[in-house]
Amino acid sequence: MDFKKLIKIFEKVYGDSHGISTFFSPGRVNLIGEHVDYNGGFVFPCALSLGTFGIARKRSDDILNFYSTNFEDPITCSINNLKYEKEHYWSNYLKGVIYEFQKLGFNLCGMDILISGNLPNGAGLSSSASVELLTSIICKELFSCDIDMIDLVKLSQMAENKFIGVNCGIMDQFAVGMGKKDNAILLNCADLKYEYVPVVLNGYTLIISNTNKRRGLSDSKYNERRDQCNEAVKNLNKELNIENLSQISAEQFEKYKYLIEDPVVLKRATHVIYEIKRTLSAVEKLKNNEIKDFGKLMIDSHNSLRDLYEVSGIELDTLVEEALKSTGVLGSRMTGAGFGGCTVSIVKDECVEEFKKSVEKGYTDKIGYPPSFYTALIGDGAKKINLE
């Protein structure tokens, strides 16, 4: 992204660029460990080089001005009257974060903010978390707020849970805030202990394939899946004493799963228990340079998300099926919440172009429109950018 061009847009929208600061916040892709973060399990995401760019400055009044080059609909509101407004769509993510800063007692004032993203919206690459952490970094830097990145991550998640109304776990915000170049993050979502793991694929590349079917978390069955997991915990607690599904092993689950009488709830819980186990195994495979086995676990993960958690759909399933037909592919799976969005595949370097051609043809023949492809370069987390 060319900040010089963005500054010119800022000047056009706001009159001048006096007193501005520049920022970047990445998107994320989850390599394995899906729909387990809100169950306290292990996930394995990484930040992307794609993301959301921001230019911001303080004002001397209480007015918040928001402008996005992706939507080109300027939003204005008062910092003293922040509320969710459906018609304000994308700006609600910024408002939610600012509202959380105020709840913590930070004294903020008005701002002029311009954002521009090269993440596809609604594609499951955490464009919402990217905007949330971008706003968090803007507030921290412009107002010299004494708050560390982990707390910014928690604050951003709270904004999405309470202000937006999506009962997401913490994985997306954590990956966006704590990302590290060329590393994925093994994160224990129960206690936020984490480990950076170098992603060394030795002749293979991560390719993100976008179904181009837009999805919206707050409009999906995401919250329903979380409720079903809570129901499973409630059933298991007839004999156990757990707060979430991550607190029992696969062996314990097999012993006590008879307590879950609803077959749908049982399927949801089964996915979570074994997805956590897959994630830990996959990380060890990556550390030991057993890339083929890592790929097999990715495939198992997708099959579980399709059959047990039921969050994929014909578009995602078709992308995975076509990927696995292609030469030089070790693994492929949906990534993100599902119901549309993207897949991530491990593809041999010299087969990448043929992969794109064959997957595009197979997908288009079945779905009726083409997918999009992105090479997944792993980057750093949200930060202020110094242009000098």
Q: Which residues are tagged catalytic?
A: 172
* Cα–Cα distance for residue pair 180/198, rounded to 1 Å: 9
* Cα–Cα distance for residue pair 177/45, rounded to 1 Å: 12
The two tokens of residue 206 are 């991560």
Question: Is residue 92 within a helix (H) or strand (E), and if so which, with residue range?
Answer: helix 91-103
Determine whether 70 is exposed, middle or buried from the number of CB atoms within 10 Å of its CB (0-12, 13-18, 19+).
middle
**For residues 160 and 97, is the Cβ–Cβ distance under 8 A?**
no
The two tokens of residue 20 are 């501005």
* Cα–Cα distance for residue pair 119/123, rounded to 1 Å: 8
Q: Reduced to 3 DSSP states, what percent helix, strand and coil does the chain have, rounded to the nearest 5?
A: 45, 20, 35
Q: Which residue has the tokens 């014909």?
A: 314
- Hey, what amino acid is at 54? G
* Cα–Cα distance for residue pair 10/296, rounded to 1 Å: 47
Question: Is residue 48 within a helix (H) or strand (E), and if so which, with residue range?
Answer: strand 45-58
In the sheet where 63-68 sits, what is the strand order?
75-78, 63-68, 111-117, 45-58, 21-30, 383-385
What distances in angstroms separate CA 89 from CA 25, 78, 94, 211, 229, one per listed residue? 19, 16, 10, 22, 29
**For residues 41 and 276, is the Cβ–Cβ distance under 8 A?**
yes
DSSP E strand boundaries for 268-354 = 329-335, 342-348
The two tokens of residue 81 are 């009257």
The two tokens of residue 368 are 């009726």
* Closest to 158 in 3D by CA, of 227, 104, 221, 122: 104
The two tokens of residue 255 are 């012993």
